[in-house]
Amino acid sequence: MNRIGLIEGIGPESTIECYRLIIKKFQEKLNTKDHPELLILSVNMEEMIGYAFNNKIEELIDFLSRRIFMLEKSEVDYIALASNTPHIVFDDLANRTKMISIVEETCKAIKNKQIKKIALFGTKSTMNHGFYQLVAKKYGIEIITPSKEKQNYIHDKYINELVQNKIIPKTKKDFIDIARELRKENGIEGLILGGTELCLTLSQSDFKTLTIFDTTEIHVESIVNAMIKK
């Protein structure tokens, strides 16, 4: 059984949900009541997202590299970042150790559904930095993002509400309206919940005409597959 090292998400709620889903999926796949070996590293999230949001790439790489080294000393077999935003520097980190990319796995899932055009919600860094677009291009997928004004709104609500575990009905409605507007104007076929807290307020049941890709759920599937891989 492989051991996974997990660097926490932006907010504790998403990390808790990721942990819960890993155990559930592990037990389902192996038909067991056992728990997997999993190391969760809590980090100074304000510092980490500060580097990401201010485009301090070298500082972010150094910050995460030092945490990855801590997990490697614990003899983990794979490492995963339980957040989309730090995947800005995923390629730089993955050159040094075995990692499971939330972005790569999400794009594979989209391709498997034969979807060609999809919207992306998340932090501003996730929506406009281009790392999702770069991976999606390999799979023939076009990523559509909201207008700058709508990106600012999504980012603000994400950081100041969802990360704080504040689930406000009006925000949920506004997110749904933005997605529907993108479908009407750009012909999107689906929506990537490109922030691991977004699944706390949005789900497939909120949409009849769009396929929703929950990056937490997709990442968990890949993490558990890596755990049980021989």
**What is the tens place of the pLDDT at every residue in 64-105?**
999 999 999 999 999 999 999 999 999 999 988 899 999 999
Q: Are residues 62 and 125 in the same domain?
A: no
**What is the tens place of the pLDDT at every residue in 124-153?**
999 999 999 999 999 999 999 999 999 999
Average pLDDT in the 156-181 region?
96
Question: Is the model's pLDDT at 178 over the cut of 80?
Answer: yes
Scanning the structure block, which residue is given the tokens 């997605």? 179
Q: Are residues 63 and 143 in the same domain?
A: no
Q: Are residues 14 and 115 in the same domain?
A: no
Q: Are residues 64 and 115 in the same domain?
A: no
pTM above 0.75, yes or no: yes
Sign of the alpha-carbon torsion through 40, 192, 195, 88: positive
Question: Is the model's pLDDT at 230 over the cut of 80?
Answer: no
pLDDT at residue number 11: 80
Compute the mean pLDDT over every residue in the chain, rounded to the nearest whole number: 95
pLDDT at residue number 108: 98
Q: Are residues 51 and 110 in the same domain?
A: no
Question: CB of 21 within 8 A of CB of 215?
Answer: no
Q: What is the rounded CA–CA span in Å between residue 84 and residue 219?
A: 10
Q: Are residues 88 and 165 in the same domain?
A: no
Q: Are residues 154 and 54 in the same domain?
A: no
Using a CB cutoff of 8 Å and minimum separation of 24, what contacts does 201-209 make? 201/162, 201/167, 201/171, 201/172, 201/175, 202/121, 202/172, 202/175, 202/176, 206/172, 206/176, 207/176, 207/179, 209/183
Q: What is the rounded CA–CA span in Å between residue 123 and residue 66?
A: 24
Q: Are residues 64 and 118 in the same domain?
A: no
pLDDT at residue number 107: 98
Tell me the residue ranges of DSSP E strands in the chain. 4-7, 38-41, 78-81, 99-100, 117-121, 142-144, 190-193, 211-214
Q: Are residues 118 and 194 in the same domain?
A: yes
Q: Are residues 46 and 58 in the same domain?
A: yes
Range of the domain at 166: 103-214
Tally the domains of the chain.
2
Average pLDDT in the 211-225 region?
97
Domain CATH number, residue 186: 3.40.50.1860
pLDDT at residue number 102: 97
Q: Are residues 97 and 167 in the same domain?
A: no
Q: Considering only CA atoms, which of 103, 96, 168 is closest in space to residue 141?
A: 103
pLDDT at residue number 101: 97
Q: Are residues 19 and 78 in the same domain?
A: yes
pLDDT range class, residue 21, cuts 50, 70, 90: very high
pLDDT at residue number 92: 94
pLDDT at residue number 166: 94
pLDDT at residue number 96: 83
Residue 181's SS3 state is: helix
Neighbour-count burial for 14-28, b at 16+ CB within 10 Å, e otherwise? bbebbbebbeebbee
pLDDT range class, residue 115, cuts 50, 70, 90: very high
Q: What is the rounded CA–CA span in Å between residue 87 and residue 3?
A: 21
